[in-house]
Structure 1
């Protein structure tokens, strides 16, 4: 299945571009896609002790996956995943 991955802020810097399109034959969930892209780009730094880092936001087609099934959110192909790092400010 084909997935479009969009990266923002420091995640974009880690990957070196804003958007990637990847074909995954053995990925069926958001978590699987994130594991695959992290294996390809280890500087992406999405995980802490095996869990998605706190305040990392992952959206599937514009909807936060925490409001669906989290990392178990299913993918059918053709979706866009957007990854936002934690943001601080004041």
Structure 2
């Protein structure tokens, strides 16, 4: 599955689009695999309770997962998966 990452996550992952082969079919499985691949990303996106940090957004085919099953949302390899970290600025 191709995952697009934005802002500081690009630096951590080494590019805008990365190939992730999750061990399951949920958003959480994709993010877990990304944390395995890029350990730095965990503290950027997850709280200690393994929930998304405030203002971290995951979009599947342009739809925010908060409007679906959140981290339990099922994804397919053909889905467009986008991960946005908290962004500050003015």
- Smaller-chain TM-score bracket: 0.7 to 0.9
Higher relative contact order (CA 8 A, sep 6+): 1
Kept in 1: contact 2:2–2:77 (CA 8 A): no
Query: Which structure is higher in strand share?
Result: 1
Q: Which runs of 5+ in 1 are unaligned?
A: none
**Stretches of structure 2 lacking an aligned partner (at least 5 in a row):** none
The number of aligned residues is 87
Runs of 4+ in 1 over 3 A off after TM superposition: none
- TM (norm. structure 1) is 0.87
In the alignment, what sits opposite 2:37?
A: 40
Provide the alpha-carbon RMSD of the alignment: 1.3
How far the C-alpha of 1:53 sits from its partner, in A, is 1.1
Structure-1 residue corresponding to 2:15: 17
